[in-house]
Structure 1
Amino acid sequence: MSNDLRVLLVEDDSDIAFLIKINIIKAFHDVEVHITQTKEEALNILQEYKYDFDIILLDYLLGDITGLDILEEIRKITDIPVLIITGQGSEEVAVKAMKMGAQDYIVKRGRFFSKIPEIIENIKKKKSRYDKNKIFLAFYRFGTSGTEPIYVNRIPEEYEDIKETVILSLGVMLYTLFGMGEIDKLESSSIISGPVRIPKMRDYYATSLLYIVKDKNQLDKRLEGKDYCIVALAYPFEYQDIAHGIEKIRNILNKFFDSINDVSEISDKVKDVEEQIYNVISWF
């Protein structure tokens, strides 16, 4: 199943919480399950990290407090998808939960915990607010006369006829913004720009990150055998809140660039990281 998933599990029964966590870990790669046992703890975490979680699993009964009470408070903080886990299998509970913003519910019956990963995947498919066909990634390096594209797999269909012009214009924009200054003072994986409007694309913007990579063919001795790679995430204006998830995207890119031994390897390895990023965006 999909990569890079962060789950907040609100469950006061430690045995049940353990079984749920184990089944999620088995089903997903690069998953983190954070367990809380009280309403207060869950709400405090969400107040501070509301953009960090992809889904909330919420037990219907926490002591004398119902999951519906907590769900009402959650919806004041975030619109993260919520799955209600209940021992009360009545339609009434399900209807109330859905009306209050829960995406689904499951009854604690039999090996219910083994079904949770599939429900999470289904919620993800329904949840995404973004059409990934309108989003694209572009990888550039600093060449001898400006930015050079390393990898741009696709751009939105409406701009396909002028794809080369878009790629060139985006590269020029990045060079104008970052190549004219003291770029050697920037740290790898710094968020260096965004959102900035992309030339030749109506109402499209880019948020960009910088990475320092080794370059065995680097001719400029001042750069000491390294090069600079800029990754631009491009999206339409109405998707601008996608920037709230930039830390998750940066974490994926950090791992990717840690595995790169030379800039020449990027084009051969980038396809997998591109897919990981699109998967993560689908949770935003």
Structure 2
Amino acid sequence: MSAASERWSDLKPRVLSALVMVAIGAVEIWLGGWWFLILITLLTSVMIWELARLTQPSMPRLALAIAGVAAACLMVDEGWPSVSAWLVFPLVPLAFMATPRAQQRGAAVMATAIMIAGHGLFVLRDEQGTAAMLWLLGVVVVSDVMGYFAGRILGGPKFWPAISPKKTWSGTVAGWIGAAFLGLAFVILGYASPWVIVLSPVVAFAGQLGDIAESWMKRRVGAKDSSGLIPGHGGVMDRFDALVGAMVLVMLLTQAFPLPIGG
């Protein structure tokens, strides 16, 4: 295989997997309600399962149990809003903290981020509407796609070689630029205020940090992928780590400022 062919060897499975996920996600976002909650609960619990498998490979039953707790927490919190998320969500990171592996603290932080993101995605769709949800997903996808192509075509200095050796500065900055143009598109279409043009690259960067955080964890445990569930992408966490980082930032920002889109 030539160097050029090897550079693009993962493109076809990535595209096919992405198309399937986009189709499923679009239908679920449009349906909303319990259908969307079921999808978010499934994705969140699978990511928690993958994280538990990474940090506890010799305890598969424990991984399933923690994933079950994560699913139950989301269903209880969103299905019965009288139960506060802050009462049930700590059960998941506490389960990671109780495990004997050295990565327990990092895993607990990542588990907290995943749970916050799962909760936030449902709240964003329910309270801000479809436009806000599509904007967030668009920022993550555009940033990833722009980073993928710019990084492979332009190359250049690595962003954080010790943790993510494939991520380049050219790809990182291209992701920010793509996110800004996506924000501009939402402004032109009348779905957002101009502030979203500034916010979009910041959210894209948060997504990139989510990707780096997962890469750090995989390096700590010596794993290439979080699992092999998605062809071309590895595991669910490999595909949605950026969405977790982006959603956590959006959740934090909305505690202080109204989101300049949707609502």
Normalised TM-score (structure 1): 0.29
Normalised TM-score (structure 2): 0.30
Q: Point out which structure has higher relative CO (alpha carbons under 8 A, 6+ apart).
A: 2
Point out the structure with the larger strand share: 1
Point out the structure with the larger helix share: 2
Structure whose alpha-carbon radius of gyration is higher: 1
